[in-house]
Amino acid sequence: MDAAVAQFVSKDEFGKMGETFNELAQQSSRTLRLPRKPFDRQKVVEAFQESFELIGGVPALAYWGAHNRTEFYKLYGKLLPQANVLDVMGKMEHHILPALPPSELDELPPPIEGEKGG
């Protein structure tokens, strides 16, 4: 284990962290199951950030990623925004062409007396 990481986390804890990251990376679902009771999302984010720093922060994650490249890139891929097909292709226009020729029904009716716009 790298000395920079060892000051924050033991070898055993680092192994458990790797197992946790591996489990997260293996999950096929991108959805997060939330508890039914209400919670403060900001507090959860802050707690996760503090925990991340306590277990070694970026150096520990980089060390783990260097030894678990496939799992690291799986997690990284889940963080990237999904590309929208229309965004990739650029601006698109849709033209609706009628299947029937124009008829009397397509013409505007004559204005009714007393109504605005007539």
Give the model confidence (pLDDT) of 5-48 as tens digits: 777 778 888 778 777 777 777 765 566 665 566 767 888 888 88
HSE-CB for 34 with a 13 A CA cutoff: 8
Give the model confidence (pLDDT) of 42-71 as tens digits: 888 888 899 999 999 999 999 999 999 999
**Domain residues of the chain, as ranges?**
3-25+41-83
Q: How far is CA 3 from CA 9, 59, 63, 74, 75, in A?
A: 10, 10, 11, 26, 25
